[in-house]
Structure 1
C-alpha cells in the first residue's frame, strides 16, 4: 500500500500542476483582453500593440506547459527512485528486515487471494534438486536405504491439501516421484497423525507420528515469512532486491565453529538461503539452500515450483493413498 500511495501522490501533484498551468494561461489571456486597447479602425499602424510585445507573450504561453511537463517527469522519476531504493537493487540491496517483511507480506497476500478463497484440494507441485551424495546412508526401515527413497538427484514432490477458504487443512496426501512419474514415497496426514506408507510397508513395527497441531495453514511462500521472523530473532544477515520482475530475498549465516556434519566430507563455514518471488503475481518461484566450504558456495537443495492450484477432487493415485490410511 505504501508504494501505491507514492504513485497516488505523484498523480495528484501532476494533476495540480496541469490545472495550475491551465488557470495561469486562462488568467493571463483574460487579463490581456481586458487591458489591451482595441485597435481603432482608422488609427495608424504605430498605435497598435508592437510585434515585440506580442512575441514575448506568445513565448511565455508556449514554454509554461513544457515546464509543467518537465516538473511532472521529475516527480515520476523521484517516485521511481524511491521505489527502487525501498525494494533494493543487486548493487544496493534492502537490508531492513521490517521493510522486507512488509513487502513480502504484500506479495504473499496477493498469491493467497489468487489461489485460495474456496474450499477444495490445493495441489502444489515442486521440482526438488538434492544430490544423492548429500542425503546420507541411513536405513529408514530394515533392508531399506535412503537411496531407495531418493535414487536420483532430481525428484518431483506433489502435495494435495484439503483446505478451507483461508488455506487451513487437516488432511494432506504427499507423493515423491521420479521425473517420469514413478512414485517413490507416499505420505498421508489425517486426524492429527502422519503416516509414511512406504516405510510402513517395509517395517511392520512402524508407528505413526502424532502431530502437534491437528489443523495447520498451507504456506504458499514455502515458509519465507517464518524465515524472516527467525532471522530478526537470531540477527541473521538478510538482503533483498528486485531484478527483472522478481523479488529476491537471501539469508546468510556463518558458523562460529566451522565443522563437518551430515554426509559432507568437507568443512562447512556458513549457509545461505535464497528465495525468489514473482513481483507481479506474488507467486513463490524457487528457493535454494547453499553451503560454503570456505572458498565457494555450492547448492545443497533447490526447490522450483511447477504448479499451485485448487482442484475439486483428488487424482486416482492420491485418492488410493488416502483410502489406505482411512482403512487402518
Structure 2
C-alpha cells in the first residue's frame, strides 16, 4: 500500500492574526457576503459526526489511493467492504450549525473538498442561492471506470448487501456505532471474502465518484471553482488544512492576485504564510458570528 507523507509534518499551530470580531468586520464592512468565495475542508463536518484527517484530535489515517484501489481485486474488496459498513453512518449525517450558518450567507460560491454532500443539504434546507462545487466529488454517486456509467450509492449499497448477506454478522459491527473516516469507510481487518459489484451495464470496475489521493480533479470542476474565485473579491478558507494542492492552489492564486485570504481553522495549514487574516477558532463558532453579523447587515441595507 502506498504511504502518504503528511505535508503538515513539523508545522505548528499559528497564533491568530486578529480577534474574530475584527476579521468579521472585514467580511461585513465594505463588503457583503457575495464578495467572498469560500473553500471548505473536513473541519466543516466534524460537528456532524464525520472526523477529519488532520485536526488536533484526529487519529492517524491512511486513506485509499487511486493506485492502491486499481492495483488488485483484494484492494477493491477491502475498500468496498469498509465503505459498505460505513455508508449508513455517512447517509444519516445531517448538516450542522456551521453548514446552516454558511448557507444563510449569500457568498459568491462554496468550493468544498468534502464528499459528504452536507453543503447541498444545508443549501436545500435554508434555500441558499450560492453555488456549490464538489471539488473532490460526492460519495452518493458511483461511477464505472470503463464507460462512465453512473449509479446511485443507495442502489449500489442494496446490491452489495444482496451479494454479501452474511458479512455484517461476520464483522460483528453495528453501522450505527462505527466511526467512519472522512471518505466514508471504516477500519476492518478481514475483507478478502467481500464480493464486489461490477458495472451491471458493461462489467467495468466501479468506484465512488470521488477523487482519491493521487487522483486528478476533473478539469470542469477546477474551471468552475476558478470562476468563483476570480469573480470574488477575496477567499475565506474554513476547516481545511490545505494539505493537498487541489485546495491550496486557490489560496495561492488569490494571494497572487492581491486578494485578501482569510483562514479559519484550529490547526496549522499549508497556507498560513499566505493568509491576510488568520483565526484559530472553531469553524462553527466563527460562522455563527459571521452569519449573525452578515444577516444583520443585509437587513440594515434593506431599510429605507
Please classify the TM superposition score into its range, dividing by the shorter chain length: under 0.3
TM-score by length of 1: 0.22
Q: Which has the higher strand share?
A: 1
Does 1 or 2 have the higher relative contact order (CA < 8 Å, sep 6+)? 2
TM-score by length of 2: 0.23
- Structure with greater Cα Rg: 1
